[in-house]
């Protein structure tokens, strides 16, 4: 049965190695080493012994060895921590660093004018730090050291709180070692409550690196760390930017309100001593480096944005090029079509010219025919007039003919009558004469009949 530092035993499941405390929100290791395994009795074999520094860090996590770290940490995290510490506590304050490793931060604090010392668990690493940086380092744990209560200004714990099997007891002891206005300066991984393990794995979250259940026993959230110190009577916490902000938190803790020193005050204190001036030079260089890094980041972002722009423009250019080619082909096609149309137009022009000539000829012909028609019309009119005149003449002649005919017929009839009369006369004369000559009665009788007939 596991118990959170807060006393709670009910956990939400986080993953196979950790449970999330249902009361305070701390991520609690379910596979921690036992407290006695975390002490260094045998430097050669125990977990936090010599091998932790020489093999474990390199082989199990791929971190640089202690030799490299002793050099690399100074201009990097040590300067970041110092810069923050100066805001809260100025030299020559007394500072103890718990878990000081190779001792480079203790050395920087000493260089800056602090009365600094460190504590480590492995006698080997204590010896290494003492030899490497010529600084006082004691073999812990801190509870076993004879440090007068209320004697320290600052206790620094960088990447230590999460390793403590009983953070309440150790922090309580540390607070007792501090002067009443003393402070703790702490860097520890930050568990963000509500974080889900599958999401963390899926997104390859930076916090995954902090899940080391054998040694990272309590992974605090900002809420749970406040609760821890509130219970210990240190209710003042000020969070500062962590150098590894993607998985760490960094804060100062005190039982009284902080007295913050401004930059002018800090610089004037550092400029008071030759060693302090050296420290200030390091801080200035670091500031410059951070500004350059920031500018580089901005420049990189800008460069990336410009590269994207260039890529986008290249894409557009290719599209345009393609379009240009397509339009070129279209223009060629249209040119051919235009030429054909032009040729056709020319041919039609010729045809129009020919037709125009023909129209003109037809027009001339039409005019000529018009004249001819006019002439013929005139002639026709004349002929018509002549015809009418001749009609009249014919009518006259016809009338004359009819009259002549009637006259002829009348004369014929007269002739017939005359002929008949002549015949009758001839007949009467003939019988007259015959009667006279013959004197025959018969002839006389006939003559009388005829004379009676034609009287």
* Residues near Zn ion, by CB under 5 A: 4, 6, 8, 21, 23-24, 26
Quick check: 6 and 27 in contact, CB under 8 A? no
Nearer to Zn ion, 56 or 231 (CB): 231
Question: For residue 339, what are its two tokens?
Answer: 């030429």
Nearer to Zn ion, 10 or 374 (CB): 10
CA distances from 409 to 37, 415, 418 (A): 182, 9, 14
Nearer to Zn ion, 23 or 54 (CB): 23
Nearer to Zn ion, 152 or 225 (CB): 225
Nearer to Zn ion, 79 or 219 (CB): 219
Closest CA to 28 of 221, 296, 203, 295: 221
Smallest distance from Zn ion to CB 169, Å: 15
* Radius of gyration, alpha carbons of the chain: 73
Smallest distance from Zn ion to CB 71, Å: 39
Residue matched to tokens 């009348």: 410
Nearer to Zn ion, 28 or 178 (CB): 28
Quick check: 129 and 100 in contact, CB under 8 A? yes
Nearer to Zn ion, 165 or 276 (CB): 165
Smallest distance from Zn ion to CB 219, Å: 11
Smallest distance from Zn ion to CB 6, Å: 3
Smallest distance from Zn ion to CB 19, Å: 10
Q: How far apart are CA 294 and CA 346, in angstroms?
A: 73
Smallest distance from Zn ion to CB 25, Å: 7
Smallest distance from Zn ion to CB 24, Å: 3
Lateral strand order in the sheet of 218-219: 11-13, 18-21, 27-29, 218-219
Q: How far apart are CA 174 and CA 229, in angstroms?
A: 11
Closest CA to 217 of 172, 162, 168: 162
Nearer to Zn ion, 26 or 447 (CB): 26
Which neighbouring-strand residues pair with 115?
94
Smallest distance from Zn ion to CB 21, Å: 3
Closest CA to 256 of 239, 234, 238: 234
Q: What angle do CA 125, 131, 133 make, to 5 degrees?
A: 95
Nearer to Zn ion, 193 or 267 (CB): 193
Closest CA to 141 of 233, 249, 234, 35: 35
DSSP-assigned letters across all residues of 151-200: -EEEEEEES-GGG-S-HHHHHHHHHHHEEEEEEEEEEEE---TT--HHHH
Smallest distance from Zn ion to CB 149, Å: 28
Smallest distance from Zn ion to CB 48, Å: 24
Lateral strand order in the sheet of 94-98: 137-139, 115-120, 94-98, 152-158, 178-189, 248-254, 236-240
Smallest distance from Zn ion to CB 8, Å: 5
Question: For residue 353, what are its two tokens?
Answer: 């010219």
Q: How far apart are CA 185 and CA 252, in angstroms?
A: 5
Nearer to Zn ion, 137 or 253 (CB): 253
Q: How far apart are CA 206 and CA 194, in angstroms?
A: 16
**Strand-strand pairing, 248-254 and 218-219:** unpaired
Nearer to Zn ion, 24 or 154 (CB): 24
Nearer to Zn ion, 26 or 84 (CB): 26
Smallest distance from Zn ion to CB 18, Å: 12
Q: DSSP state, 115?
A: E
């Amino acid at each position: 049965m596991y118990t959170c530092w807060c006393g709670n035993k009910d956990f939400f499941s986080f993953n196979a190695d950790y449970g999330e405390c249902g009361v305070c929100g701390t991520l609690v290791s379910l596979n921690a080493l036992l407290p006695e395994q975390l002490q260094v009795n045998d430097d050669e074999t125990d977990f936090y012994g010599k091998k932790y520094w020489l093999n474990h860090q390199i082989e199990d996590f791929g971190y640089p060895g202690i030799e490299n770290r002793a050099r690399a940490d100074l201009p990097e995290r040590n300067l970041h921590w110092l810069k923050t510490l100066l805001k809260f506590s100025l030299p020559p304050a007394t500072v103890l660093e718990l878990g000081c490793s190779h001792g480079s931060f203790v050395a920087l604090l000493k260089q800056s004018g602090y009365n600094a010392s460190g504590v480590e668990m492995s006698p080997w690493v204590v010896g290494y730090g003492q030899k490497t940086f010529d600084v006082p380092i004691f073999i812990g744990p801190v509870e076993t050291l004879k440090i007068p209560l209320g004697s320290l200004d600052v206790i620094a714990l960088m990447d230590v709180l999460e390793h403590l099997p009983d953070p309440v007891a150790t922090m309580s002891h540390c607070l007792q070692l501090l002067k009443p206005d003393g402070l703790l300066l702490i860097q520890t991984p930050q568990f963000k409550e509500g974080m889900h393990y599958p999401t963390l794995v899926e997104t390859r979250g930076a916090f995954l690196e902090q899940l080391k259940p054998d040694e990272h026993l309590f992974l605090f959230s900002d809420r749970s760390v406040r609760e821890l110190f509130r219970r210990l009577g240190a209710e003042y916490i000020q969070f500062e930017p962590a150098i590894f902000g993607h998985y760490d938190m960094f804060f100062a803790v005190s039982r009284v309100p902080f007295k913050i020193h401004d930059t002018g005050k800090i610089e004037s204190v550092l400029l008071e001593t030759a060693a302090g001036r050296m420290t200030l030079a390091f801080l200035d260089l670091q500031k410059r480096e951070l500004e350059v890094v920031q500018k580089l980041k901005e420049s990189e972002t800008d460069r990336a944005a410009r590269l994207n722009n260039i890529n986008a423009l290249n894409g557009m250019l290719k599209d345009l090029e393609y379009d240009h080619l397509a339009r070129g082909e279209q223009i060629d096609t249209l040119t051919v079509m235009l030429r054909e149309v032009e040729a056709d137009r020319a041919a039609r022009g010729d045809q129009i010219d020919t037709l125009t000539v023909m129209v003109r000829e037809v027009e001339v012909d039409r005019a000529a025919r018009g004249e001819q028609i006019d002439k013929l019309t005139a002639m026709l009119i004349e002929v018509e007039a002549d015809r009418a005149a001749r009609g009249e003449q014919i009518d006259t002649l016809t009338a004359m003919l009819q009259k002549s005919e009637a006259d002829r017929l009348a004369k014929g009839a007269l002739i017939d009558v005359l002929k008949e009369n002549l015949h009758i006369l001839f007949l009467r004369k003939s019988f007259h004469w015959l009667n006279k000559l013959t004197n025959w009665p018969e002839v006389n009788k006939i003559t009388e009949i005829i004379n009676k007939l034609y009287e």
